[in-house]
Amino acid sequence: MTPVNTIEGKAIPFGRANVDTDVIIPAKWLKTISRQGLGRGAFETVRAEPGNVFDDPDYAGAPILIAGENFGCGSSREHAAWALANLGIRAVIAPSYSDIFSGNAFKNGILAVELPRAAIDRLMDVAKTDPISIDLEHQTVTTRFQDRFTFEIDPFRKHCLLEGLDEVGLTLAMEPRIAAFEKQQASWLSPAA
Amino acid sequence: MASRPRTLYEKIWDAHVVERRADGTCLIYIDRHLVHEVTSPQAFESLRLGGRKVRRPDLTLAVPDHNLPTTARLDAEGNRIPIADPESAAQLAALEANAPAFGIRYIGPTDAEQGIVHVVGPEQGFTLPGCTLVCGDSHTAAHGALGALAFGIGTSEVEHVLATQTLLLKQSKSMNIRIEGALGFGVTPKDLILHIIGRIGAAGGTGYVIEYSGSTIRDMSVEGRLTVSNMSIEAGARAGLIAPDDKTFAYLQGRPMAPKGEAWEQAVAWWRTLPSDPGAPFDCVVDIDAAAVAPTVTWGTSPEDVAPVWGAVPDPQSFAEPAKREAAQKSLAYMGLEPGQRMQDLAVENIFIGSCTNSRIEDLRAAAAVLNGRRRADGIKQALVVPGSGLVKRQAEAEGLDRIFIEAGFEWREPGCSACLGMNPDKVPPGERCASTSNRNFVGRQGPGARTHLVSPAMAAAAAVTGRLTDVRELMG
């Protein structure tokens, strides 16, 4: 994973609540065996709406997406995170996320920043004209208007993101612990043939 | 040792901690892993690139279900019919190749046991109480009905479990949803869970593991419980547990992958210790009166948008929150509805009976009981029944249910996810309504522009007969 520290740039003021992963990437795009190229199908139904923010040239190449409550609810498809990454999104700012989505985002180096409603409203305003800065190390979101919002993040996730660590590799290093755990498990756990 | 009272969730969690870190993150052992064709190819690819193996192929079971067409799979000569869509065919071929390459047990499209992973797991006895079970699919919550701590994961986590048989997790908060009393005439577990989601909201369970308890749950069949736990994720909860009891054990005993003989006795003895202790602390408690649950339908594009079948489409202006007002307006525009329209006046063109929520034998029996001796209304263009597995299909045929469905004008299909998610040929056409026994009414879920109304199997059958959303009790003896 590529290390993540500061993310600075335009933010797409999407703002909608309960954005499910079928909206982020409709099911027909999941028939792939690759992680690449999913940006084509990202937000397909939203992009069919005239004047949508995703096709607004003002936000072309924006690395940040601002959304409402419960972002990424629904399906567990990691394709949602891959599609965002493929669009160039490196951070989402929203009041809350589904648990599965925030895990998927983290594992793909996308920062899911949680801020209160009032901060989101303010950033939605700023995003229309100006860039936004996210500093992971100091856990802040700032604007050129002296706005400064701090956010919480799990320390382990923060560490992995800052260092660009591979979680599978980290866990494999604990193999002796896992093997010891397996030794004390009940024998009936292995499924009958 | 005297210990403080613990919940079912805590007991399963504690029994699976490989290592606990200072910040509370735990390395949790995973006992069961279900794999399907859509969320696994990238995980296997990463394993291959990293030169990594599957740690416990014996704890892993692979079954294709999501994009498999539900039309005939064998021709008259018994040869497999190729899948027309090249991308679906490639995904299925990838699973078919990856499973043996990594030593994983595989149930293929033409095997009698094939079906939707969440139907196959319990049916095969692969799902067991007290186990941790994961799958790259959010409806993995279903397995919680047997007392397994079961939840959906993303593809990176699929890779992590394949390689290490563990996941790094933080314990969730716990919510006890207590449901007391008898469900009314014509009211099913599906109506109950839709009612619950309407009550706590699509994000009401976010950050929580739910335990469903109370007399309604105790009196419910295991299949009914699977429907309830299945939709936990529609309230935002990753898992929805139900305490294992004699019904659970009777359901599992003798199933092919369940423990046998002495091993079974040992397992049951442990499973009996799992229910939450009296006085075990929950972070949140919700009380539901089963008698207050109506036959329920959805009107919008979130599973929380529920109404009793005799109710009406709400006025977006009636919602206090601006975000909900705007969402309701967008939902109504997408669904082609006006505030105040009666749900029972809504004509439907499509009926879908299936999905991991409602495709088990009891679901098919409930729908067939309504359809027996009746025919679908003229306005119905497509009516699908898709059994959850080959074994469900065979059982239904042995009971003659297939004849009832076919005589009522339904298509009797092969098992799979079908029209629940619009990634295989089964879809709802744009602008048309579907009375669907599936779990999500999201925008475009059943196909671009499709308008989904979530209902129980009996209500889907009733809608087929009348051609509109209908209170099934009008058609019941």
Residues B138, A75: C-beta atoms closer than 8 Å: yes
- Residue A89 covered by a domain: yes
Least CB-CB distance to A22: which of B29, B270, B443? B443
Burial pattern B12-45, b for ≥16 Cβ within 10 A else e, equals: bbebbebbeeeeebbbbbbbbbbbbbbbbbbbbb
CATH 3.30.499.10 maps onto chain B at 8-171+247-266, 298-475
- Residue A71 covered by a domain: yes
Residues B27, A177: C-beta atoms closer than 8 Å: yes
- Residue A101 covered by a domain: yes
CA separation for the pair A192, B354 (Å, rounded): 29
Burial of B322 (0-12, 13-18, 19+ CB in 10 A): exposed
- Residue A138 covered by a domain: yes
- Residue A185 covered by a domain: no
CA separation for the pair B44, B21 (Å, rounded): 29
CA distance A148 to chain B (A): 24
B417 among annotated binding-site residues: yes
State which residue of chain B sits closest to A80, comparing Cα positions.
B154
* pLDDT bucket at A192, cuts 50 / 70 / 90: confident
Q: Could you tell me the two tokens for A104?
A: 């998927």
State which residue of chain A sits closest to B260, comparing Cα positions.
A192
Q: Which of A22, A30, A31 to mutate to test the interface with B (most CBs of B within 10 A)?
A: A31
B356 among annotated binding-site residues: yes
Q: Which residues of B touch A69 (CB under 8 A)?
A: 203, 323
CATH number at residue A130: 3.20.19.10
Residues A156, B21: C-beta atoms closer than 8 Å: yes
CATH 3.40.1060.10 maps onto chain B at 173-243+276-292
Q: What is the mean pLDDT of each run of 10 residues along chain B (477 residues)?
A: 87 98 94 98 96 97 97 96 96 98 98 98 98 98 98 98 97 98 98 98 97 98 98 97 98 97 97 98 98 98 97 97 91 98 98 98 98 98 98 98 98 98 96 98 97 98 98 92
CA separation for the pair A138, B233 (Å, rounded): 33
CA separation for the pair B26, B18 (Å, rounded): 7
- Residue A124 covered by a domain: yes
CA separation for the pair A110, A32 (Å, rounded): 21
Considering the segment(s) B8-171+247-266 as one domain, its CATH architecture is 2-Layer Sandwich (3.30)
Find, among B239, B169, B211, the residue nearest to B17 by Cα. Answer: B169
B131 among annotated binding-site residues: no
Least CB-CB distance to A33: which of B91, B206, B238? B91
| pLDDT at residue A193, rounded to an integer | 64
Q: Are strands B149-152 and B132-135 parallel, antiparallel or unpaired?
A: parallel
Q: Are B164 and A172 in contact (CB under 8 A)?
A: yes
CA distance A17 to chain B (A): 7
Query: Could you tell me which CATH class the domain B173-243+276-292 is placed in?
Result: alpha beta
How high does pLDDT run on average in chain A?
A: 95
CA distance B422 to chain A (A): 6
In CATH, which superfamily holds the domain spanning B298-475?
A: Aconitase, domain 3 (3.30.499.10)
> Residue A150's domain spans which residues?
6-165
* A142-183 pLDDT per residue, tens: 999 999 999 999 999 999 999 999 899 999 999 999 999 999
* A22-79 pLDDT per residue, tens: 999 999 999 999 999 999 999 999 999 999 999 999 999 999 999 999 999 999 999 9
Q: How far is the CA of B329 from the CAs of B140, B314, B315, B332, B380, in angstroms? A: 31, 10, 8, 5, 27
Q: Are B55 and B61 in contact (CB under 8 A)?
A: no
State which residue of chain A sits closest to B56, comparing Cα positions.
A190
Helix locations, B167-298, DSSP H: 189-200, 215-218, 222-230, 246-252, 261-271
CA separation for the pair B438, B366 (Å, rounded): 15
* pLDDT bucket at A123, cuts 50 / 70 / 90: very high
CA separation for the pair A98, A19 (Å, rounded): 10
| pLDDT at residue A163, rounded to an integer | 94
Residues B156, A96: C-beta atoms closer than 8 Å: no
CA distance A142 to chain B (A): 25
State which residue of chain A sits closest to B40, comparing Cα positions.
A33
Tokens 């972002």 locate to: A71
Residues B206, A99: C-beta atoms closer than 8 Å: yes
CA separation for the pair B242, B251 (Å, rounded): 14
How many separate domains does chain A show? Answer: 1
